[in-house]
């Protein structure tokens, strides 16, 4: 029954290779479509398909094969769509090559930015898919954001993003945001932008116009130094710190002296032995 229904539809597709299909095999749309594709490239053959057994079929039913068929589109349509697909696939290749963490050649970046970015960026398709997962480097660790009044000795509220113990996608978004506060991860021209914006939005909530914005990083212990307990916040490494204050309505980002966490290069013993 299904076979006969399919054959009637195939007749409208000028199928010439029917004899190659086994009637015992249950036909399906992919087979029908494939035959319709193939027949265009085959030489003319005698038309011998419409046997009585096949054509004299049963009344139509609403089965998969009697549904309204959408045959192969016209060559014009296929031509236009093929050109668009080729353009998109070229753009896809260029975005992968041009958004790599290893950088991009001048040629690739120029072609991509001039011809493809204007329409791929708005659609969020200008992506490199450079998902390294991890390189075991410090910036692969979880980051968090802590904002507090600059002089905490005078008391005050302290905000932490994400909140301690929180998990899930929202917390993941906060960690991603916090990682952007590391000066090394952003271009110089926007390096101070986020700390300033973060502080500016929290002046009222914290009741202070002089804030410390800290970006902390979860330590990454070696396997040999693994401890089963979750790392305490006191052990988090400071990745970046900024002081932001509002004076007379204008917001200022003040440079904060970097505190070195490393040991001095010159040892005391060497100092003692040194001659002036």
Partner 1 sequence: MKSLPTAEATPFSEQFGAGWNAFWFLPASGRPLAVIRMLTGILGLVLWSSYAADLQRWFGPGGMISADVIATWRNAYGVSLFDAATTAASLWALYGLGFAAFAALLVGLATPFAAVAAAVLWVSMLHRGPMLISPADDVLAILLWCLVIGRSGDHLSVDAWLRASRGSDPAGPSVRNRLALSLLGVHASVITLAAVLSQLKGDIWWDGTAAWWLLSGREQSPGSLMAAMAASDYLTNLLSHAVTLFEIVFATGVWVAGLRGGLVAAGLVAWPLIGWLSGDLAWGCGMATLGLAWLPASWFRSGAATTQRA
Judged by CB under 8 A, the chain residues 153 through 212 that form the site for partner 1 are: 165, 167-170, 172-177, 180, 189-190, 193-194, 197-198, 200-201
Please say whether the beta carbons of 38 and 21 come within 8 A: no
Please say whether the beta carbons of 112 and 103 come within 8 A: no
Binding of residue 221 to partner 1 (CB under 8 A): yes
Q: Is the dihedral of CA 29, 31, 32, 33 positive or negative?
A: positive
Binding of residue 273 to partner 1 (CB under 8 A): no
d(CA 152, CA 29): 71
Compare residues 101 and 276 and give the one whose CB is closer to partner 1.
101
Compare residues 227 and 266 and give the one whose CB is closer to partner 1.
227
Binding of residue 253 to partner 1 (CB under 8 A): no
With CB under 8 A as the contact rule, the residue among 46, 59, 101, 249 that binds partner 1 is 101
Compare residues 51 and 105 and give the one whose CB is closer to partner 1.
105
Binding of residue 232 to partner 1 (CB under 8 A): no
With CB under 8 A as the contact rule, the residue among 220, 241, 251, 253 that binds partner 1 is 220
Q: Which of the stretches 51-59, 150-158, 220-228, 257-265 binds partner 1 when contact is defined by CB under 8 A?
A: 220-228
With CB under 8 A as the contact rule, the residue among 34, 87, 152, 270 that binds partner 1 is 34
d(CA 171, CA 162): 5
Give phi and psi for 129, each to the nearest 5. Answer: 50, 40
* Residue 197 Cα distances to 58, 97, 239, 245, 253, angstroms: 73, 33, 18, 11, 10
With CB under 8 A as the contact rule, the residue among 49, 57, 90, 92 that binds partner 1 is 92
Binding of residue 38 to partner 1 (CB under 8 A): yes
Please say whether the beta carbons of 259 and 214 come within 8 A: no
With CB under 8 A as the contact rule, the residue among 90, 218, 241, 251 that binds partner 1 is 218
Write out the binding residues for partner 1, residues 103-142 only, by CB under 8 A.
Answer: 117-118, 121-136, 138, 140-142
Helix (H) or strand (E) holding 244: strand 237-247
Compare residues 150 and 181 and give the one whose CB is closer to partner 1.
181
Task: Give me the DSSP letters along 76-110.
Answer: HHHHHHHHHHHHHHHHHHHHHHHT-TT---HHHHH
d(CA 110, CA 70): 41
CB 55 to partner 1: min, Å: 21
């Amino acid at each position: 029954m299904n076979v006969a229904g399919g054959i009637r539809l195939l007749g409208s597709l000028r199928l010439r290779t029917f004899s190659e299909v086994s009637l015992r095999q249950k036909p399906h749309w992919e087979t029908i479509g494939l035959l319709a594709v193939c027949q265009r490239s085959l030489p003319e053959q005698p038309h011998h398909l419409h046997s009585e057994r096949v054509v004299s079929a049963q009344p139509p039913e609403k089965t998969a094969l009697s549904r309204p068929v959408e045959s192969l589109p016209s060559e014009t349509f296929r031509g236009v769509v093929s050109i668009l697909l080729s353009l998109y696939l070229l753009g896809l290749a260029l975005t992968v090559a041009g958004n790599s963490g290893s950088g991009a050649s001048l040629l690739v970046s120029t072609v991509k930015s001039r011809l493809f970015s204007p329409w791929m960026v708005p659609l969020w398709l200008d992506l490199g898919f450079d998902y390294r997962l991890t390189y075991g480097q410090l910036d692969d660790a979880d980051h968090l954001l802590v904002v507090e009044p600059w002089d905490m000795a005078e008391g005050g509220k302290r905000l932490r993003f994400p909140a301690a113990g929180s998990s899930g996608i929202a917390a993941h978004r906060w960690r991603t945001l916090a990682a952007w506060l590391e000066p090394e991860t952003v271009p110089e021209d926007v390096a101070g932008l986020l700390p300033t914006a973060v502080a500016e939005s929290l002046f009222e909530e914290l009741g202070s116009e002089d804030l410390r914005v800290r970006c902390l990083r979860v330590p990454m212990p070696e396997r040999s130094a693994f401890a089963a307990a979750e790392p305490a916040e006191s052990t988090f490494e400071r990745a970046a710190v900024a002081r932001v204050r509002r004076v007379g309505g204008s917001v200022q980002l003040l440079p904060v002296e970097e505190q070195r966490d490393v040991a001095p290069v010159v040892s005391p013993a060497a100092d003692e032995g040194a001659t002036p």
